[in-house]
Amino acid sequence: MILSASRRTDIPNYYSEWFYNRIREGFLYVRNPMNAHQISRIDLSPEVVDCIVFWTKNPEPMMDRLDEINAYPYYFQFTLTGYGADVERNVPHKKKVMIPIFQKLSERIGSQRVIWRYDPIIFTGKYTPEYHLRAFQEIAGSLKGYTEKCVISFVDRYAKIQRELDMLGMEELDQSNLLTFAKALSRIAGENGMEIATCAEKMDLQLCGIKHNCCIDEDLIERIIGCKIHGRKDKGQREACGCLESVEIGTYHTCRNGCVYCYANQGWDGAKDGYHPDSPLLCGEVMEGDRVTAKKMKSIREGQLSLDLL
């Protein structure tokens, strides 16, 4: 199985102690967001966890303890944008703090295993296409040699974040200007030795040199673990998402990054409520009426290590 840690919250940034505790104990609980009394018990043994995909805006809190997960293949989806605190309220300064952290992580685990995400892209009177291109150029230049891939997306107008986007003064680009913008991103990425791809975008940008992407990526996982895997498309994600099926271990409404575009976290001011690092659950405790069921877990590896994948 592939472990997703996490599309719902920033586990490396805020809950790394909980995560390492769960690795040591060998299991964790995940509450079903659609059925509050249904809890799945997730086996974390290396025999069934084929790869862990971390999603974060700041992995620094977990970096000193990476040796504790040496038994697991893993890689990071690291979001690094040009936004200020008006959009990403609690993310440290990008140039002074976050770019050096990205570089340090890459030096530690290798450029293949740190994916740069410049997403979601929002256009406003302040964050114009020209602004984004300048920011993208500066970040890409700083990350040259530290990553092999950049992932982009354009913000989706979810109803739950519509008010925040309106307050930012979100603007739309017409098709022609959007394609011109995408071509410029592709050129900058190429100049800095990076493949560029989209995340869950229905728009086809391949003529701009931008591929469709799988964030939980079969090819990358096979290269990291050194053998073929037998996965299937994750039906629980958006139609345009090409990710492999994974087990999501995060909890909604627990991220403290305070990003105005976040679909997974309403009411971010209270996001830390109920966190217990020693609990099997990321947030809260098992209560009366809860039903804990062991999720059927198995490896999706095929056969022995393949030298041509190493």
> What does the pLDDT read at residue 266?
65
Range name among 46-55, 138-147, 194-203 with the lowest pLDDT average: 194-203
Amino acid at 49: V
How many helices (H) and strands (E) would you count in the chain? 8, 13
Q: Across all residues in the chain, what is the average pLDDT? A: 92
The whole-number pLDDT of residue 97 equals 98
- The answer for residues whose C-beta is within 8 angstroms of residue 87's C-beta and 6 or more apart is 81, 122, 127, 168, 259, 260, 261
Tell me the CA end-to-end span of the chain in Å, nearest whole number.
20
The model's pLDDT over 216-258, given as tens digits with 9 standing for 90+, comes to: 999 999 999 999 998 888 777 776 677 889 999 999 999 999 9
User: In the structure, what pLDDT confidence band is assigned to residue 310 with cuts at 50, 70 and 90?
Assistant: very low
- In angstroms, the CA 229 to CA 219 distance is 9
Region of 60 on the Ramachandran plot (φ > 0 left; ψ -120 to 50 alpha; else beta): alpha
Whole-number Cα distances in Å, 190 to 102, 144, 194: 19, 10, 5
pTM of the model: 0.93
Give the model's pLDDT for residue 144: 98
Give the span between the Cα atoms of 98 and 92, in whole angstroms.
7
Phi-psi region of 176 (alpha: psi -120 to 50; beta: other; left: phi over 0): alpha
Q: How confident is the model at residue 308 (pLDDT cuts 50, 70, 90)?
A: very low
Model pLDDT, residue 267: 56
Task: Say how far apart CA 247 and CA 42 lie, in whole Å.
Answer: 9
pLDDT of 256-305, one tens digit each? 999 999 988 765 554 556 888 999 999 989 999 999 999 998 999 986 55
Task: Give kind and range of the element (H or E) at residue 4.
Answer: strand 2-5
Q: List the one residue out of 8, 1, 7, 2 whose CA is nearest residue 265.
A: 8
- Compute the distance between CA of residue 101 and CA of residue 242 in angstroms, rounded to an integer: 28
Region of residue 33 (phi > 0: left; psi between -120 and 50: alpha; otherwise: beta): alpha
- Contacts of residue 194, defined as CB under 8 A and 6 or more positions apart, other chains included, come to 116, 140, 143, 144, 147, 148, 149, 150
pLDDT tens digits for range 165-220: 999 999 999 999 999 999 999 999 999 999 999 987 778 898 999 988 889 999 99
**Mean pLDDT for the stretch of residues 12-17:** 97
pLDDT value at position 242?
Answer: 73
CA 74 from chain centre, in angstroms, equals: 12
Alpha helices in the chain (DSSP H): 11-14, 16-25, 60-63, 99-109, 129-143, 162-168, 175-191, 218-225
Provide the token pair at 166: 């309106």
Around Cβ 26, how many Cβ atoms within 10 Å?
11
% of the chain at pLDDT higher than 90: 78
Report pLDDT digits (tens) over 99-125. 999 999 999 999 999 999 999 999 999
Helix axes 99-109, 129-143, angle to 10 degrees: 40
CA distance 220 to 75: 9
**CA 159 – CA 36 distance, rounded (Å):** 23
Average pLDDT over residues 82-93: 96
Taking residue 158's Cβ as centre, other Cβ atoms within 10 Å add up to 13
Beta bridge partners of 5: 54
User: What was the pLDDT predicted at 202?
Assistant: 77
